[in-house]
Chain A
Amino acid sequence: MSTKKILIIDDDAELCEEMAESLQAEGYQVQNTSDTAEGESLLSSQKFDCVFLDYKMPGLDGIEMLKKIKHKNPQTKVFIATGRPFIEKLLEEEKVLSLVAGIINKPFNSETLINKLQSTDKKYLNRKRSQDDR
């Protein structure tokens, strides 16, 4: 399990708590925040393997944040969690779709969440393994 440290940024504090609890139950080291400024400061002070980012929340432009995260640490996997439809299209138009590890449509359950997380890990691992093989 390569992904250990996870940051959840979502303006729905209860969702953040439930997600964090579920992921912690799976053995991940999870931090969460509903405050954009806190999220930014966490990101700048620590290094996360994975970030679950609400696409849009007060005081936060999801795309800017995504760019910042990837700029600071390209290794960080960013999942966009959103209730908005056609988010892929939107990201594609902003030319940032390649920066995201996955999109998680709200409402999601814990299975979906964990599956998504693990599937990207596998992709990542496979990709890394093939790179190592060379």
Chain B
Amino acid sequence: MKTIRFDKRKSGIPMVGEVPWGTHFCQFYQNGREFFDVCIPYFKAGLKHNERCVCVTSGPLKNEENKFLKKNLPRFDTYKTSGQIEFVSLEEWNRNKNTAKALFAHLDKGIIKGFDGLRIAFLNFRYPNQFTNTLNTYNILALFAYPHNEFNTIGLMKAVKNHHFALVKNTGKWEILKSSEVSIIKDELKRSEEKLRSLFSNMSEGFAYYRILLDKKGKPYDYIFLEINDAFEKLTGLKAKKIIGRKVTQVLPEIQNDPANWIGKFGKVALSGKPIQFENYAQELQRWYTVSAFCPHKGYFAVTFSDITERKKAEQGLSTAHEQLQMQAEELEATNEELRVQTDELLMANKELQETRDELRKSHDRLEQRVTERTAELQQTHAALLAAQQETERARRLSDIGTLAATVAHELRNPLAAISMAVANIKRKAQNPLLEKNLSNIGKKIIESDQIINNLLFYSRIGNPHYEQVAINQILDECLESLSHRYNTGEIIIIKNTEATKNILIKADPLQMKEVFSNILNNSYDAVSKPEGRIEITTVHSDGLAVCISDNGVGISAADLGKVFEPFFTTKAKGTGLGLSVCKQIIDLHDGTIGIESHENKGTKVCITLRIK
């Protein structure tokens, strides 16, 4: 059995005193009496201190030997019956192939029965080397008895050397013989033990060494403190002096009721040899411990432990905090769920809103479009209205002008008619050739005046055209013909490029058309200077019809060009300023266009386009 070196045992031999487990020593005896001198107190101490005792003798106990033992060992029979003491013959012992194994079997037998260890004595067993080297780690004490007379000095020295010490009777008194080697080893052991003690004393973990106690059925019911370290004292508050050698149930009576079942747990470790580790709360001590228990040998267990009460408190704090967190998490989860529901509702509402918004946007777009359309329509209408208003304004103005013109024309025509008639009367009555020229001039001026009146009247009476099928070239020819009295001086060149519209008929008011071309041709005539004057009439026939009348006259300044279609605008010394205005009116009524290009001192070109139907 592995043991703790400082677990000292009472040897029972006065001069030897206490020895640690693992001690083996020898005895040299002269006779049987001397053997028993040592053996009896040796076993007596062992039996008293709960050790299993085994005696290996030369043969079965003789009667007198039995009697002697019975006499000298109190309750010998009881011990013998209970098996605490056993006698084995050397012959039987030597049959063991492995004597060390046999020795340990005896130890285990004792431990299982609840003994602290094995105390053995060998009578004349000559092969102690078979196991003495390993004894020191087990709870074994061994005595080897050798007959003194069978050893010479060297043999005796060898024997002594093989054991920790030897007992020799010298002059009637037992003395201890130690080889120097043994002393050295013992010193080393002592140092080692001190080191170990120091280690044990200084280790922060509590350490305790126990022996388990079993009831008759082999079930653990208690354990005994065998050894503890300083840390144990500090951690548990239990002092070694008060507890070593005592049962735990005596030290801590409540341990039997502790639900941690310490005794059961440790008993299992001590019997099965399986180490355990656990954390537990010792109710009696009101402390938390982390405990490692292992079994150095059957029936014994060692325990190292640390006080983890603080850590446990911290852990409990953590646990509480964890629980609080858990609760908070659950609350959060609940809140979260609620939020999720609300989010879902919001999402739904949002979706509805989105849809509503989309619809609104669509409606808005439609409205926008309608507004845009209506605005465009309104703008068009407005533009049309504006144009119409302008047209109305213009028409009203023209109407006013027309009314005025008609009145003036009518009023002037009476006197002109009277003058004309008077001229005729004068001519007839005078019959004077000298007056002929003057009267002729008056007649001319009357015609001119009437032409001015005509213009005014034409302007005033421009109404819806009286459409007829009109040969455009014929109209142009008639205009040239009626104006021939102006051109036929030979000083102005008239160029006609009207082949394109030969035999082309258009739907137009012939009188209005004549008015248009007469006006334009008159303008050209007025513009050109006589010697190199040139008027060109060009017609084009394509989809519609175009008549362009150009001259190489004085032209119109850029500033004036924009005003030429305004009524009463004129640059001529004489003229109503109605000519081109009349032309534009008529062409507009015919759904045609009239345009004018002009460069000062280079000439003017007027182009008219008309629809053929």
Q: Give chain B residues whose Cβ lies under 8 Å from the Cβ of A25.
A: 425, 428
CB distance from B475 to the nearest CB of A (A): 21
On whether the beta carbons of A83 and B421 are closer than 8 Å, the reply is no
CB distance from B578 to the nearest CB of A (A): 15
Answer whether A107 and B406 are a contact pair too, CB < 8 Å, given A21-B425, A25-B428, A83-B412.
no
| B66-108 contact mask (Cβ, 8 Å, vs A): 1 or 0 | 0000000000000000000000000000000000000000000
| B424 close to chain A: CB less than 8 A | yes
On whether the beta carbons of A83 and B424 are closer than 8 Å, the reply is no
> Which of A15, A83, A86, A106 neighbours the largest number of chain B CB atoms within 10 Å of its CB?
A83
On whether the beta carbons of A109 and B443 are closer than 8 Å, the reply is yes
On whether the beta carbons of B419 and A107 are closer than 8 Å, the reply is yes
Q: Which of A1-59 contact B (CB under 8 A)?
A: 10-12, 14-15, 18-19, 21-22, 25
Closest residue of chain A to B413, judged by CB? A83
> Which of B412, B416, B423 neighbours the largest number of chain A CB atoms within 10 Å of its CB?
B416
Closest residue of chain A to B447, judged by CB? A107
Q: 7 tightest A-B contacts by CB?
A: A83-B413, A107-B416, A18-B421, A110-B424, A106-B413, A15-B418, A107-B417
| B445-477 contact mask (Cβ, 8 Å, vs A): 1 or 0 | 010011001000100010000000000000000
On whether the beta carbons of A83 and B425 are closer than 8 Å, the reply is no
Q: Give chain B residues whose Cβ lies under 8 Å from the Cβ of A95.
A: none
CB distance from B465 to the nearest CB of A (A): 14
On whether the beta carbons of B409 and A19 are closer than 8 Å, the reply is no
On whether the beta carbons of A83 and B410 are closer than 8 Å, the reply is yes
Given contacts A15-B414, A22-B425, A109-B423, 19 further A-B contacts (CB under 8 A): A12-B417, A14-B418, A15-B418, A18-B422, A18-B425, A81-B417, A83-B411, A83-B414, A84-B406, A84-B410, A105-B413, A106-B416, A106-B417, A107-B414, A107-B446, A107-B450, A110-B424, A110-B425, A111-B424
List chain A positions with a Cβ less than 8 A from chain B.
Answer: 10-12, 14-15, 18-19, 21-22, 25, 81-86, 105-111, 113
What's the Cα separation between A10 and B415 when bound, in Å?
12
On whether the beta carbons of A86 and B461 are closer than 8 Å, the reply is yes
CB distance from A106 to the nearest CB of B (A): 4
> Which of B406, B415, B421, B443 neighbours the largest number of chain A CB atoms within 10 Å of its CB?
B421
Between A and B, 14 residue pairs with Cβ closer than 8 Å are A14-B422, A18-B418, A18-B422, A19-B421, A22-B424, A82-B413, A85-B409, A85-B457, A85-B461, A106-B414, A107-B417, A108-B420, A109-B421, A109-B443
Answer whether A83 and B409 are a contact pair too, CB < 8 Å, given A18-B418, A25-B428, A106-B417.
yes
On whether the beta carbons of A22 and B421 are closer than 8 Å, the reply is yes
CB distance from B464 to the nearest CB of A (A): 13
CB distance from A133 to the nearest CB of B (A): 37
| B383-405 contact mask (Cβ, 8 Å, vs A): 1 or 0 | 00000000000000000000000
Q: Give chain B residues whose Cβ lies under 8 Å from the Cβ of A82.
A: 410, 413
Q: Give chain B residues whose Cβ lies under 8 Å from the Cβ of A81.
A: 417
What's the Cα separation between A82 and B457 when bound, in Å?
14
Answer whether A12 and B415 are a contact pair too, CB < 8 Å, given A19-B421, A25-B425.
yes
What's the Cα separation between A55 and B423 when bound, in Å?
24
CB distance from B436 to the nearest CB of A (A): 15
Contact of A108 among B415, B417, B422 (CB under 8 A): B417
What's the Cα separation between A58 and B417 when bound, in Å?
19
What's the Cα separation between A18 and B442 when bound, in Å?
16
